[in-house]
Amino acid sequence: MDKHICCVVDTETTMRNEDHRLVYQIGWCISDLSDIETKDYHSRVFWVEETVENPEFFTFKTKRYSDNGVPLLNYKIDPRYKKVINGALRDSRIPVAMIDDRIIYRTAKWKDIIKVFNSDCKNLGVDSITAYNINFDFGVNGSVGAIRKTSHQFTDKGFWFPRDVKHFCLMDWVATLLINRDFYIWVDKLSPSQQVKMLTENSNYSYRAEAILRYLNNDLDYKEQHTALRDCYLEMHLCKIMYHRYSNTLNDFLGTAKKSKVKGVSWKTIQKKLTAKQKLEDRKEWLEQKDLIQVKQLELKI
């Protein structure tokens, strides 16, 4: 099995206001996917100083605007904010890296966090970057994910993947291949009281990372921690399992900044119980159609 250095990224973000999806905590871990036994990952976690220090970002607000331009009504403080503040203060003097001959602490400015991220990817020879839902964390195919939005907000610059580093969506890979006939049989055989742990609130099959790990570990009580670094460990473990089983398909999902191969995952597709073979064929047709559209757009520009 070929060596493949992957960086798994996870973000925790603000929500329910005009500044939703600003990153307040980011983590990443880097490891060789071919070494499924290694758990000694190179990992980092940061609190984003600009987000944490502004309580406005953690105020839940109504979505209605008044006719006379009065600001949105505050109606609740994000219940996570106390833990966020305590964690950021606790870690504010923990040194984690050196950039431009400066010490970077675990609570840091966004621009410095991105510098450390890019440095890690370069120095450790990262081949690809992923996140369980890369469209949420990064944003590809024209979408603005949490990391891109935070970069725009705090640096007035866009975010670019490190040079020569490819990317893929772990959720896309999992939904195409791991959610297969065996997955559906396993879930359908559960008792009603247990099966609910593998379904959404609307009684559809769940494809969240938490649900997938419950299936793989046969542990229906497993709970995702929803902290950036712990979620990175979860997703790296899942990524290594995927590589161990389906490494020959990874190139079908790896894209570049100019040509992303990320295909959104639809709950409707999951409910159809399509085979992995069918989903791979659908994916191939989608990529061919996408390439055709890009060629036509270039012709129109010329």
Specify whether the CB–CB gap between 244 and 40 falls below 8 A.
no
Q: Say if strands 95-99 and 102-105 run parallel, antiparallel, or are unpaired.
A: antiparallel
Kindly report, residue by residue over 173-207, the tens digit of the pLDDT.
Answer: 999 999 999 999 999 999 999 999 999 999 999 99
Q: How many CB atoms lie within 10 A of CB 155?
A: 14
Calpha distance 53→89 (Å, rounded): 10
pLDDT at 42: 95
Q: Which of 128, 169, 123 is nearest to 32 (CA)?
A: 128
pLDDT at 69: 62
Calpha distance 109→103 (Å, rounded): 12
Kindly report, residue by residue over 20-69, the tens digit of the pLDDT.
Answer: 899 999 999 999 999 988 777 999 999 999 999 999 999 988 666 555 66
Write the CATH number for 249: 3.30.420.10
Calpha distance 12→25 (Å, rounded): 5
Average of pLDDT values for 256-275?
92
pLDDT exceeds cutoff 80 at 219: yes
Domain containing 108: what range? 5-301
What mean pLDDT is reported for the chain? 91
pLDDT exceeds cutoff 60 at 123: yes
Contacts of residue 81, defined as CB under 8 A and 6 or more positions apart, other chains included, come to: 55, 58
Specify whether the CB–CB gap between 172 and 137 falls below 8 A.
no
Tokens of 33: 């996917």
Average of pLDDT values for 86-102?
95
Average of pLDDT values for 146-157?
93
Q: Which of 253, 249, 36 is nearest to 128 (CA)?
A: 253
**Alpha helices in 91-203, H assignment, sequence order:** 110-123, 134-137, 146-155, 170-173, 181-188, 192-195
Contacts of residue 69, defined as CB under 8 A and 6 or more positions apart, other chains included, come to: none
Calpha distance 302→296 (Å, rounded): 10
Specify whether the CB–CB gap between 247 and 34 falls below 8 A.
yes
Q: How many domains does the chain have?
A: 1
- Residue 87 has, within 13 A of its CA and on its CB side, a CA count of 17
